[in-house]
Amino acid sequence: MALDGDASPRGVVSQYVSYKVSQVDLCSQFGKVDLWYMPGNHDELATVFLAEALRGWFSQRADVSVSDTIHSLRASLYGTTLIATYHGHDLRVRDLGEIIPKRFPQLWGKSLHRYCFTGHYHTERELPAKSDITILRMPSFCGTDEWHYDQGYSSRRAINAYVIDKTKAGIGLTDELVK
């Protein structure tokens, strides 16, 4: 789904919520979906509005839950795998390997495999960590806007889906370019 058409505030919000609903519907075909929303550096208020819109949209669906808290660093245990998410703009990403075990000691202790997914810089790569965790920076579906272009930055416009097994080490990656 392309985000184009009505550029009024209402049109932009309507298109964005519809886009997110379609993503959740797609993911829910494979199992229960837990939505975590965390503020980024450009859209803190929009994140709150989106989370509340999706909470209402999916309120009658048992296969979709929307977190009622907004945190910049989240973690959960999926089988034997710790999954953490962090936008990437407040804490130093290189310190996440020390921060995550301190902030989530029970999850860390129960996990055999550990991943943290981050963004902010809109480029994809594995980042160095100071502990036994894989930190993956994800690309952005936004692409390169005027400010980033003027500053000399560019990135591949993409959305990655990571498939994590409950018991096996490693993850699979599905990459689909946004059209």
Alpha helices in the chain (DSSP H): 9-28, 44-57, 96-103, 105-110, 146-150
Condensed to tens digits (0 to 9), the pLDDT of residues 33-73 reads 999 887 777 777 888 888 899 999 999 999 999 988 878 89
**127, 94 in Cβ contact below 8 A?**
yes
**132, 82 in Cβ contact below 8 A?**
no
Residue 176, pLDDT above cutoff 60:
no
Condensed to tens digits (0 to 9), the pLDDT of residues 104-124 reads 999 999 999 999 998 866 677
Instruction: Indicate the DSSP class of residue 94.
Output: G
pLDDT at 125: 64
Beta bridge partners of 66: 35
Q: Tell me the pTM.
A: 0.78
Residue 175, pLDDT above cutoff 60:
no
Q: How many CB atoms lie within 10 A of CB 134?
A: 16
- Name the least confident of 1-5, 18-22, 140-144: 1-5
Position 178 confidence tier, pLDDT thresholds 50, 70, 90: very low
Q: In what order do the strands lie in the sheet with 81-86?
A: 73-78, 81-86, 113-118, 134-137, 125-127
Residue 170, pLDDT above cutoff 70:
no
